[in-house]
Amino acid sequence: MTTTAEQLSATTLLRFATAGSVDDGKSTLVGRLLHDSKSVLTDQLEAVEHASRNRGQEAPDLALLTDGLRAEREQGITIDVAYRYFATPRRRFILADTPGHVQYTRNMVTGASTAELAVVLVDARNGVVEQTRRHAAVAALLRVPHVVLAVNKMDLVDYAEPVFAAIAEEFTAYAASLGVPEITAIPISALAGDNVVEPSAHMDWYGGPTVLEHLETVPVSHDLTGCHARFPVQYVIRPQTAEHPDYRGYAGQIAAGVFRVGESVTVLPSGRTSTIEGIDLLGDPVDIAWAPQSVTLRLADDIDVSRGDLIAPVDDAPVVTQDVEATVCHVADEPLTVGRRVLLKHTTRTVKAIVKDIPSRLTLDDLSQHPAPGKLVANDIGRVVVRTAEPLALDAYADSRRTGSFLLIDPADGTTLSAGMAGASFAAVEEPAAADDDAEWDF
Amino acid sequence: MTTVATVQEGTDNPYALSHLDSLESEAVHIFREVAGEFERPVILFSGGKDSILMLHLALKAFAPAPVPFTLLHVDTGHNFPEVLAYRDRVVAEHGLRLHVASVQEYIDAGKLRERPDGTRNPLQTVPLTEAIQQHRFDAVFGGGRRDEEKARAKERVFSLRDEFSQWDPRRQRPELWQLYNGRHAPGEHVRVFPISNWTELDVWQYIEREGIELPEIYFAHEREVFNRNGMWLTAGHWGGPKEHEAVETRLVRYRTVGDMSCTGAVDSDATTLDAVITEIAASRLTERGATRADDKMSEAAMEDRKREGYF
């Protein structure tokens, strides 16, 4: 490893997720990224070689690097999201390695929920298939800012440009129509190592970045100046010590935007207003703080603020509502039904709620809408209408992944039932005309 | 044709956080979530670097107020004396409350039996889970990191455990966004891993940046050790060396700190944080592969222990 000193200087962090069907070569791509970035260490490789030999396999099975559970190794499949860590001289990476099985849509949703980039894998021989559309739809739904289409197995189509171009064009048109803001298509062979870490010697016609190069250079955060500032209060810090008899700070992680000392703010849902008197960044006073910093805000007025409240600028506060319309991905085995009483966890606030309506369910295969399905079962994505017992300061998920997302929880045993995204589903899509039923897939 | 859609210019964003700041902010958020949602949280504190890091993050999360958690140490009876001294010093310095669950007491009382190989690491599970039940802890912070081991890579940040402290990897709650679900029934508890997303290198870089003091055995020093199964173990009253095992003095340091019977030292001349970081960055072995005997017992050793309630 010759890059040690440089690797230590890598400063930014990119969280990304991979998605691909069972035989698209996702494990090989992940293995290649880890291996070629020298993130697989000797003892891990030895363990894989040993385990592979015990199974009677001649070559080390790189999937054993990522399939960590007994059941996964027994069945040779990935049943759960795993997180991997690697670094290059330019950046640190957290990879959510999500299983590709159709029945594990919830796992891709889980992986994509914190990802800033999703890699969607396609087999060059098969092109864009149902599963590809499903992955693109989930990435769009979760509002992953960057999507990479990795057209894999280019070695099996003679590295032919037209094959890549046709797939890239079809996928880009499709994903753009879903509202995916940025798509980068890269022709690769994960097995041979073309364009994964090293540029390919077989595809002169491709002038773009390798997968790793793109991961290293893609911008990691949005321009915050345009974001609505949001601060969910997590915990009230009151030392009540001789040294700090009057300290009263509201601890939390800034969900979006920027806060400054002197700014006028409103506390929701009460609507009381005050001014930010001070911001403490883990013990040190600062004048300005931004997402996703964990800070403590001190207000000029002694007003009632507690866990679950949301602090926002006076002139840019979200609307407070008890009627939530959202898209949910149902993640529990037990179905979600109309009339079901649930808990809704939004930022730091958990309230009682009731499912008033399930207007539609989405078929990911063809993105068609099934009206009034009555219930959602595991891995279903659908529209819901929920009435909450207390008002929530809820943004549209399109505006803020952090303050527009919520969980539905079973009040009886605490099971996480559904992952919710408030508001309309895809911002880029125009409201469909009432008569144009064929084009309607707004879920 | 090259790329189909264009990439935004990678301009330097003044609001981008460094990777250490991102990890710190995330960990602090997790500590505060637990403080806000649970009645009786506890931090597992061994005096090892990961638990020292956790305590440091907790101190920052609630400053200028004290940490609103107690500490719990499962003492195997074979812990390094330097580490125990460090533990007691830190507890006193910050005015914390420490509970100690003792493996030795369990053995003396006949409730646990010494293993033939002398390793006490697996024996920690019973004292740990009984301490959790006895004190009715409902959230238990652990310093586990997903980069340590492949079963840990599957671990949630909030991990629900039943009344027997068991982990069922197939029935984990999906964990979405930063919305951690800590609901649990009476008798159940949640294991919480605030530094899940940190790597060994992140831990060391952060320790250097923050100037955190560590037990001295993390740095190179002369020590009497003997070789067993390819690892340099410290000679001591815990049961080593055996007759055929020769003791020698070597310049070593520890990458992890656990039970003396199963934690190996590595040859090293790194006496400063800087040198340690350079050494780890260049190492071709994971910290567990280099220094932990218990993980080598079987392919699923960690998963099996975690299922039983290990942290």
> For position A62, what pLDDT does the model report?
65
> For position B301, what pLDDT does the model report?
64
Identify all chain A residues contacting B29, using CB atoms and an 8 Å cutoff.
234, 252-253, 294
**Which residues neighbour B299 within 8 Å (Cβ) at sequence distance 6 or greater?**
A47, A51, A73
How close is the nearest chain B Cα to the Cα of A371, in Å?
Answer: 27
Q: What is the ipTM of this complex?
A: 0.88
> For position B244, what pLDDT does the model report?
84
pLDDT band for A438, please (50, 70, 90 cuts).
very low
Cβ contact, residue pair A207, B2, below 8 Å: yes
Give me the residue label for tokens 């895809």: A426
pLDDT band for A11, please (50, 70, 90 cuts).
confident
How close is the nearest chain A Cα to the Cα of B102, in Å?
Answer: 31
Cβ contact, residue pair B3, A208, below 8 Å: yes
pLDDT band for A429, please (50, 70, 90 cuts).
very low
> For position B302, what pLDDT does the model report?
67
Q: Which of A65, A83, A91 shows the shortest C-beta gap to B197?
A: A83
- In the predicted structure, residue A284 carries a pLDDT above the cut 70: yes
pLDDT band for A147, please (50, 70, 90 cuts).
very high
Distance set, CA B252 to CA A32, B78, B171, B268, B288 (Å):
34, 19, 42, 5, 16
Identify all chain A residues contacting B151, using CB atoms and an 8 Å cutoff.
68-69
Q: What is the largest CA-CA distance in chain B?
A: 75
Identify all chain B residues contacting A244, using CB atoms and an 8 Å cutoff.
64-65
> For position A268, what pLDDT does the model report?
96
Identify all chain A residues contacting B205, using CB atoms and an 8 Å cutoff.
8
pLDDT band for A214, please (50, 70, 90 cuts).
very high
Give me the residue label for tokens 């990961």: B50
Q: Which residue of chain A is at minimal alpha-carbon distance from B27? A: A294
Q: Answer whether A233's CB lies under 8 Å from A252's CB.
A: yes
Which range among A215-219, A277-281, B231-235, B264-268 has the greatest average pLDDT?
A277-281
Which of the residue ranges A225-229, A333-337, B25-29, B155-159 would you say has the lowest mean pLDDT?
A225-229
Cβ contact, residue pair A348, B1, below 8 Å: no
- In the predicted structure, residue A77 carries a pLDDT above the cut 70: no
Cβ contact, residue pair B36, A234, below 8 Å: yes
- In the predicted structure, residue A106 carries a pLDDT above the cut 70: yes
Identify all chain A residues contacting B18, using CB atoms and an 8 Å cutoff.
11-13
Q: What mean pLDDT is reported for chain A?
A: 86
pLDDT band for B78, please (50, 70, 90 cuts).
confident
Distance set, CA A417 to CA A106, A140, A309, A320, A329 (Å):
11, 21, 24, 24, 9
How close is the nearest chain A Cα to the Cα of B105, in Å?
Answer: 34
pLDDT tens-place string over residues B209-234: 999 999 999 999 999 888 888 888 88
- In the predicted structure, residue B35 carries a pLDDT above the cut 90: yes
Q: What mean pLDDT is reported for chain B?
A: 86
Q: Which of B11, B175, B183 shows the shortest C-beta gap to A414?
A: B183
The token duo for A314 is 């006076």
Cβ contact, residue pair B64, A68, below 8 Å: no
The three-class DSSP label of residue B37 is helix
Q: Which of A44, A66, A219 shows the shortest C-beta gap to B10?
A: A219
- In the predicted structure, residue A6 carries a pLDDT above the cut 60: no
How close is the nearest chain B Cα to the Cα of A311, in Å?
Answer: 16
> For position A443, what pLDDT does the model report?
34
Q: What percent of chain A has pLDDT over 90?
A: 60
- In the predicted structure, residue B30 carries a pLDDT above the cut 60: yes
Q: Answer whether A270's CB lies under 8 Å from A223's CB.
A: no
- Tell me the mean pLDDT in the region A413-441: 63
Cβ contact, residue pair A13, B173, below 8 Å: no
How close is the nearest chain A Cα to the Cα of B231, in Å?
Answer: 14
pLDDT band for A236, please (50, 70, 90 cuts).
very high
> For position A142, what pLDDT does the model report?
92
pLDDT tens-place string over residues A386-399: 999 999 999 999 99
Q: What percent of chain A has pLDDT over 70?
A: 85
Q: What is the DSSP string of A9-61?
A: H--EEEEEEEE--TTS-HHHHHHHHHHHTT-S-HHHHHHHHHHHHHTT-SS--
> For position B10, what pLDDT does the model report?
42
Cβ contact, residue pair A214, B196, below 8 Å: no
Coarse DSSP helix, strand, coil percentages of chain B, rounded to the nearest 5 percent? 35, 15, 45
How close is the nearest chain A Cα to the Cα of B143, in Å?
Answer: 16
Which of the residue ranges A144-148, A180-184, A414-418, B147-151 would you say has the lowest mean pLDDT?
B147-151
- In the predicted structure, residue A220 carries a pLDDT above the cut 60: yes
> For position B146, what pLDDT does the model report?
87
Q: Which of B64, B173, B278 shows the shortest C-beta gap to A239?
A: B64
Residue A211: φ, ψ to 5°: -60, -50
**Which residues neighbour A335 within 8 Å (Cβ) at sequence distance 6 or greater?**
A375, A376, A377, A378
Identify all chain B residues contacting A98, using CB atoms and an 8 Å cutoff.
none
Q: Which of B7, B170, B172 shows the shortest C-beta gap to A184?
A: B7
Task: Give residue B294's identity as a one-letter amino acid code.
Answer: D
Cβ contact, residue pair B177, A165, below 8 Å: no
* Interface test with chain B among A416, A417, A418, A421, by most B beta carbons within 10 Å: A416
Separation CA A271–CA A287 (nearest Å): 24
Task: Give A166 or B282, the one with higher predicted confidence.
Answer: A166
Q: For chain B, give the number of residues.
A: 311
How close is the nearest chain A Cα to the Cα of B254, in Å?
Answer: 17
Residue A357: φ, ψ to 5°: -160, 150
pLDDT tens-place string over residues B190-200: 999 999 999 88
Q: Answer whether B154's CB lies under 8 Å from A69's CB.
A: yes
How close is the nearest chain B Cα to the Cα of A435, in Å?
Answer: 32
Q: Which of B2, B147, B160 shows the shortest C-beta gap to A85?
A: B147
pLDDT band for A426, please (50, 70, 90 cuts).
low
How close is the nearest chain B Cα to the Cα of A298, in Å?
Answer: 13
Identify all chain B residues contacting A69, using CB atoms and an 8 Å cutoff.
151, 154, 169-170, 300, 303
Cβ contact, residue pair B178, A214, below 8 Å: no
> For position B123, what pLDDT does the model report?
86
- In the predicted structure, residue B61 carries a pLDDT above the cut 70: yes
Q: Answer whether A328's CB lies under 8 Å from A340's CB.
A: no
pLDDT band for A101, please (50, 70, 90 cuts).
low
Task: Work out how many CB contacts closer than 8 A connect A with B.
Answer: 251
Cβ contact, residue pair B178, A114, below 8 Å: yes
pLDDT band for B63, please (50, 70, 90 cuts).
very high
pLDDT tens-place string over residues B115-156: 887 778 788 889 999 999 999 999 999 998 988 777 777 789
Separation CA B64–CA A283 (nearest Å): 7
Q: Answer whether B279's CB lies under 8 Å from B267's CB.
A: no
> For position B289, what pLDDT does the model report?
65
Q: Which of B19, B179, B284 shows the shortest C-beta gap to A11?
A: B19
- In the predicted structure, residue B307 carries a pLDDT above the cut 80: no
- Tell me the mean pLDDT in the region B167-177: 83
The three-class DSSP label of residue A229 is coil
Q: Which of B66, B174, B303 shows the shortest C-beta gap to A70?
A: B303
Q: Which of B35, B64, B150 shows the shortest C-beta gap to A244?
A: B64
Task: Give B236 or A353, the one with higher predicted confidence.
Answer: A353
Q: Which of B18, B60, B183 shows the shortest C-beta gap to A12?
A: B18
- Tell me the mean pLDDT in the region A115-122: 94
